[in-house]
Structure 1
Amino acid sequence: MRHGHAYQNVVPFLSKYFDKGKFGRIFSNLPAFAPDTPKVRFALVDMGKKGGIMDAKDDLTKPSVELIIDPELQINNPNAPSITVGMTLWDISVVL
């Protein structure tokens, strides 16, 4: 599967760029980071699961806004007040 292509059960929105994948306008020649295999899918699910390496360990009984604005709730997942919200993720996607 090419980078940015949807799986069969996903109904994409109409776009003149869809044939280039989800990120076709920016990364039109970017290949997939890994082959689409059961092993790769399992590894990705494992990374994203509760307790996995991507788990921020936030207290999910608290309202989401509180997790963002209350410093006492950011012990395991601190904010970076010197940058705009979302820039970390955007920067990572550009670097990768």
Structure 2
Amino acid sequence: MSTQQKTFNELISGDEPVLVDFFATWCGPCQMMQPILMDTAKQVGDKVKIIKVDVDKNQLAASNFQVRGVPTLILFQRGKVLWRQSGVVPAHQLVNVINENLLKVV
């Protein structure tokens, strides 16, 4: 197992919720997600960690979670998928998804 993969697994397996944006540099909709993710991060603060995973550089991680299209967003906590959606997701919807799932877990 590569160090990079182990680090990814460690990140998504912790108590802290992690929103993963599986993206590709050549993907137009993925580029649209960047400001949305920044806005989401401002709104949710430290409730969730947001990370970006380039599917071309991290094919194993993308394959492990059956990421077929980009962008694909997956919310993890303790290694479990709480929510996932492909395509551009507006910031207000991401904030709602994060808040709803945090309430379920607590």
TM-score by length of 2: 0.23
**Which is helix-richer, 1 or 2?**
2
Query: Which structure's relative contact order is higher, taking Cα pairs within 8 Å and 6+ residues apart?
Result: 2
| Structure exhibiting the larger radius of gyration computed from Cα positions | 1
**Which is strand-richer, 1 or 2?**
2
